[in-house]
Amino acid sequence: MKVVERYIMRRASTVFLAALTWTLAIVWTTQVLAKIDLVTDSGQSALTFFEVAALIIPSIIPIVVPFALVVAVAQ
From CA 54, how far away is CA 43, in angstroms rounded? Answer: 19
pTM: predicted TM-score of the whole model, two decimal places: 0.78
Residue type, 45: S
Give the 3-state secondary structure of residue 75. Answer: coil
User: Tell me: the pLDDT tens digits for 1-58?
Assistant: 799 999 999 999 999 999 999 999 999 999 888 888 877 787 777 788 888 888 899 9
Domain boundaries, position 22: 2-74
The domain tally of the chain equals: 1
